Amino acid sequence: MTVVNRPPLTSDERTQLTGWLDLQRSFVRMKCEGLSEADAHRKTLSTSPLMTMAGLVAHLRWNEYSWFHLNMLGTPDTGQTPWTEGGHPDAEMFVDDVPLAQLLDEYDEERARSNAIIAGLSLDAVEQGPYAANGEAASLRYVLCHMIEETARHLGHLDIIRELLDGQTSYDRLPAPEVS
């Protein structure tokens, strides 16, 4: 298990924003460690049946793609996303037939692509995607803050679902701190 360290206390804004986002992202795989396929896809919340461990990993992956590729770069969706005209708004969470390991690998690959986009843009760069045409374009700075919030919020969901599945919380699985 690899958990990213917190960013340095006195680092610059970009290092803080990307550091906190990478830290939150690193917990996703940790929260899924040791789950069976059945548990990864188990529906524990009757009022939110799409909110499974696997469904949330897929949601986080496609959020990365949407914010950084579609919105920041303005890359057109040519059918590569799970969303379709008139389709289910949470189509990315329909992953009952996709192995958790595959979803986690796809999430890691998407994170790497997002990081490359982030590295190539100024924090003041604004969205080039569909929202830009409406005069509602957000800056990369805003998008990074939003992605920290979005990832952390869904980590809470992952933690609750994991606890419902097997009683473990994410912090039960954190490596012990080094003693000096």
Contact 174, 30 (CB under 8 A): yes
pLDDT in tens, 33-53: 999 999 999 999 999 999 999
With beta carbons less than 8 A apart as the criterion, state whether 125 and 142 touch. no
pLDDT tens digits for 52-62?
999 999 999 99
Residue of 107 and 167 predicted with greater confidence:
107
Reported as a single tens digit per residue, the pLDDT across 93-151 is: 999 999 999 999 999 999 999 999 999 999 999 999 877 777 789 999 999 999 999 99
Query: What structural domains does the chain harbor?
Result: 13-77+90-173 (1.20.120.450)
pTM for the complete prediction?
0.90
